[in-house]
Amino acid sequence: MSAGTPVTAPVKAATKTTVKATACLALADGTLFYGHGFGATGDCVAELCFNTAMTGYQEIMTDPSYAGQIVTFTFPHIGNTGVTAEDDETADPVAAGMVVKWDPTQSSNWRAEAELTEWLQARGRIGIGGLDTRRLTRAIRQQGAPHAALAHDPNGNFDTDALVAKAKAFSGLEGLDLAKEVTCAQSYSWDEKRWAWPEGFTRQEAPKHKVVALDYGAKRNILRCLASAGCDVTVLPATATAAEVLAHNPDGVFLSNGPGDPAATGEYAVPMIREILDTTDLPVFGICLGHQMLALALGANTIKMNHGHHGANHPVKDLDTGKVEITSMNHGFAVDSQTLPEGVIETHVSLFDASNCGIRMADRPVYSVQYHPEASPGPMDSMHLFDRFAAAMAARA
């Protein structure tokens, strides 16, 4: 539906019959989009972003890095493979809601355990279908990621003034520490490895390296990749101190992905990382927010992007090798490469906009990347990063 259409106007369904709008997306500038609601009822407020991936909607919705965001999916076939517990990146969806072109259809996949609409409803997440997602995506690209309110009411009753007011009142992600909201409550061990045919998920029974992973919003598949690389993984909350990390006598430290403003999370994470770097020679590896945390600890700055990078088809150039990797991205902040201090080398750049996608210390096995190697979009282009981490720990032993 186009912006400005009265809420009482009929919505064209795929069958050419008319139905009443049961969902409304309100932007902070007053623009309104009407469509068909599915999933939970009620409303939510968040930053609106778009994701260009053709697969992985369940992984996207359960990725903790999407906390505080409503996701517009540019690919129209969302829901057609259903949902399965094996694809959850955390226990429940973290993204506030989803926007799609076509209403989710009945699933057709041998792995499906439930329908997307039922899954969203059971987990309190709102969806809206029937929108012109191309128009919405263009608006986000041109004007930046807007603040938005999404409402679903089966009766089609919306207080649009109140929804716009909620969107306007949303503080945004700048200055917002969301890692504390998605991190684990207490430490735990992880030994599950990556899925492989025909066994599925198996356990790491002969680990060679002890790794402490700081959970700023860690995806399960990252932990699986560490286990598959021979690591005995202990996960600690985002607020863990250097003393708590070193108490586990690790061979290496991993900094996970996560949501929110890196500068806000850095208030407590950066001093911990600096102490690790200043007092030990441990290998350190970071992904996404972990990449930004490491950059801040080394003296660089981060900046808010116009609309961020969200998708599974982002080309990134490795400046050390000249190779190009097809990567999965999910970030609204970036490391400002112009602020990297002496001794910190830029290793990767986005071929979309030349933004920073990786760094390393010149003289130590300390490195990080902005993208998500565990998401396997290449599909194996970036898996070497986990092996590199394992090799650095082996060399230190």
Residue 140 tokens, joined: 């986000």
Q: What share of the chain has pLDDT > 90, as a percent?
A: 94
* Sequence ranges of the domains in the chain: 10-169, 179-396
Report the top-level CATH class of 10-169.
alpha beta
The terminus-to-terminus CA distance of the chain in angstroms comes to 61
Catalytic residue set: 288, 372, 374
Per residue in 289-340, pLDDT (tens digit) is: 999 999 999 999 999 999 999 999 999 999 999 999 999 999 999 999 999 9
Instruction: Give the Cα separation of 50 and 71 in Å (integer).
Output: 5
Question: Mean pLDDT throughout 71-96?
Answer: 96
Residues facing 345 on adjacent strands: 360
Number of C-alpha atoms within 13 angstroms, CB side, residue 326? 9
CATH 3.40.50.880 fits 179-396, yes or no: yes
Which DSSP string corresponds to 61-81?
HT-GGGBTEEEEESSS--STT
Question: What order do you get walking across the sheet with 209-215 strand by strand?
Answer: 188-190, 231-237, 209-215, 252-255, 284-287, 366-369, 356-361, 344-350, 301-318, 324-336
Instruction: Give the Cα separation of 67 and 326 in Å (integer).
Output: 24
Per residue in 239-275, pLDDT (tens digit) is: 999 999 999 999 999 999 999 999 999 999 999 999 9
Per residue in 156-171, pLDDT (tens digit) is: 999 999 999 999 999 9
Instruction: Give the Cα separation of 358 and 356 in Å (integer).
Output: 6
Q: Are 209 and 228 in contact (CB under 8 A)?
A: no
pLDDT confidence of 378, banded at 50, 70, 90? confident
Is the pTM for the entire model greater than 0.85? Answer: yes
Per residue in 40-49, pLDDT (tens digit) is: 999 999 999 9
Strands 69-73 and 42-51: parallel
Provide the 10 A C-beta neighbour count for residue 58: 22
Side chain identity, residue 74: T
Strands 147-152 and 23-27: antiparallel
**DSSP designation for 338:** G
Cis status of the peptide bond prior to 373, with omega within 30 of 0: no
Residue 179 tokens, joined: 């890692």
- What is the overall mean pLDDT for the chain? 94
Asked whether the domain spanning 179-396 has the same topology as the one spanning 10-169, the reply is: no
